[in-house]
């Protein structure tokens, strides 16, 4: 007996409804192995995620897991329901990290559909969702809006009038969450890898992160499996032959983590990604591309009630096969330099003197 009735093909654009609540399957207990694999994939060197001793000196129980590792896991939970049939992930807003995640914590996720807009070709549409990741105690670890272009199952299927949600242009500094019990009086610049603190950065300053990392197909394939991300555009090379690119796309979050790892050279004391104000995957990335990055300081903000930590708003641009000493970004005509693949506006927490 043959049956396809028990398998899922995921949601297509016409399956979504405004206000729809989705509880995502497969909670994930994270371990020290996840922390090690994260370093193996991206080469991140931030001390707070690497050393229990360093983290304890700041009042934390041990080294928290990398903020972007939490990002990958939560987004991976949402993929089977939100973006299994994605054309591409388009952008992010109102991203905030909550309580730190430690080895042994279990992360789950749920989403609410905020907006829907069919594309003019009627072959796909854009879906906006707010997703929340929580730990085993129900505490928020990540809260964000993202929008993704999703194929339609039936191009002729009727859909409702477009609803495009308004998202905040940025997360306000007062909304940034500083981990409970964190204190930076004993912060060790030498162990962290940089003498430069919050006071040493100025709005408008540009930092070339210098190095490049070549992204192999095996790397992004491993990360999609590791984070249980089942989006076909990332892992199905056979299906990828029939797309406009003729091949599978690298997972966009993989590029974000590479850019963050590269940013250590110049932003090593940006010990926590606290929020993402806006972000877009400007162009696709493929196996064999070499990723470079540069950052611009957009804003500095003191945090309410804190004299030991400040917020540093940074815009990081990642480019492929293009060293960033020429600052590739938006050009005079408003279009991006052809090498740009990522434009990310985010807040870092950084120690003050």
pLDDT digit string, tens, across residues 186-223 = 999 999 999 999 999 999 999 999 999 999 999 998 99
In a domain, 6, yes or no: no
- 312: three-class secondary structure by DSSP: strand
Single out the residue of 116, 136, 140, 137 nearest to residue 127, CA to CA: 116
In a domain, 201, yes or no: yes
178 φ, ψ (degrees, to nearest 5): -95, 130
In a domain, 91, yes or no: yes
Contact 250, 285 (CB under 8 A): yes
- For residue 11, what is the DSSP state? -
Q: Tell me the β-bridge partners of 326.
A: none
* Count of C-beta atoms within a 10 Å radius of residue 29: 11
CATH number, domain of 265, equals 3.10.129.10
The rounded distance, in Å, linking the Cα atoms of 230 and 219 is 15
What pLDDT score was predicted for residue 313?
98
The rounded distance, in Å, linking the Cα atoms of 3 and 190 is 61
* Alpha carbon of residue 116 to chain centroid: 22
94 Rama class: left (phi>0) / alpha (psi -120 to 50) / beta = left
- 265: three-class secondary structure by DSSP: helix
The rounded distance, in Å, linking the Cα atoms of 220 and 222 is 5
Range of the domain at 52: 13-155+168-351
Alpha-helical segments (H) within the chain: 32-42, 47-50, 52-57, 67-82, 189-192, 217-226, 232-235, 237-240, 252-262, 264-267
What pLDDT score was predicted for residue 92?
87
The rounded distance, in Å, linking the Cα atoms of 291 and 209 is 11
What pLDDT score was predicted for residue 3?
55
The rounded distance, in Å, linking the Cα atoms of 175 and 198 is 18
Condensed to tens digits (0 to 9), the pLDDT of residues 103-112 reads 999 999 999 9
Per-residue CA distances from 109 to 92, 130, 248 (Å): 17, 10, 26
Following DSSP, what letter does each residue of 142-177 receive, concatenated?
EEEEEEEEEE-SSTT------B-----SS--GGGPP
Q: What angle do CA 227, 228, 232 make, to 5 degrees?
A: 115
In a domain, 314, yes or no: yes
In a domain, 188, yes or no: yes
In a domain, 206, yes or no: yes
Give me the residues of the chain with pLDDT under 70, please: 1-4
What pLDDT score was predicted for residue 6?
86
Domain total in the chain = 1
In a domain, 162, yes or no: no
What pLDDT score was predicted for residue 232?
76
Q: Tell me the β-bridge partners of 276.
A: 95, 346
- For residue 220, what is the DSSP state? H
In a domain, 22, yes or no: yes
């Amino acid at each position: 007996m043959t049956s396809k009735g028990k398998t899922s093909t995921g949601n297509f654009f016409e399956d979504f409804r405004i206000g729809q609540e989705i509880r995502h399957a497969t909670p994930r207990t994270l371990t020290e192995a996840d922390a090690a694999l994260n370093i193996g994939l991206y080469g991140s060197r931030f001390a707070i995620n690497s050393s229990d001793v360093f983290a304890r000196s700041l009042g934390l129980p041990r080294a928290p897991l990398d903020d972007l590792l939490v990002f990958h896991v939560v987004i991976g939970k949402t993929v089977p329901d939100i973006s299994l049939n994605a054309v591409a992930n388009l952008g992010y807003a109102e991203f905030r990290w909550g309580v730190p995640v430690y080895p042994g914590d279990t992360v789950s996720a749920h989403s609410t559909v905020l907006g829907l807009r069919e594309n003019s070709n009627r072959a796909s549409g854009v879906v906006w969702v707010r997703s929340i990741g929580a730990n085993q105690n129900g505490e928020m670890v990540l809260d964000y809006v993202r929008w993704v272009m999703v194929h339609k199952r039936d191009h002729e299927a009727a859909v409702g009038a477009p609803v495009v949600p308004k998202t905040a242009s940025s997360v306000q500094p007062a909304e940034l969450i500083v981990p409970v019990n964190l204190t930076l009086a004993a912060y060790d610049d030498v162990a962290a890898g940089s003498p430069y603190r919050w006071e040493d950065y100025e709005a408008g300053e540009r930092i070339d992160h210098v190095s490049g990392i070549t992204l192999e197909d095996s790397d992004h394939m491993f990360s999609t499996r590791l984070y249980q991300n089942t989006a076909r555009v990332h892992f199905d090379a056979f299906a990828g032959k029939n797309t406009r690119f003729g091949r599978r796309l690298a997972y966009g979050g993989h590029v974000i983590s590479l850019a963050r790892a590269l940013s250590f050279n110049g932003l090593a004391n940006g010990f926590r990604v606290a929020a993402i104000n806006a972000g877009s995957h400007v162009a696709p990335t493929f196996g064999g591309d070499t990723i470079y990055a540069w950052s611009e300081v957009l804003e500095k903000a003191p945090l309410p009630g804190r004299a030991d930590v400040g917020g540093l708003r940074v815009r990081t641009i990642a480019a492929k096969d293009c060293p960033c000493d020429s600052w590739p970004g938006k050009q005079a005509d408003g279009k991006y330099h052809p090498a740009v693949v990522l434009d990310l506006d985010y807040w870092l927490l950084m120690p003050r003197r």
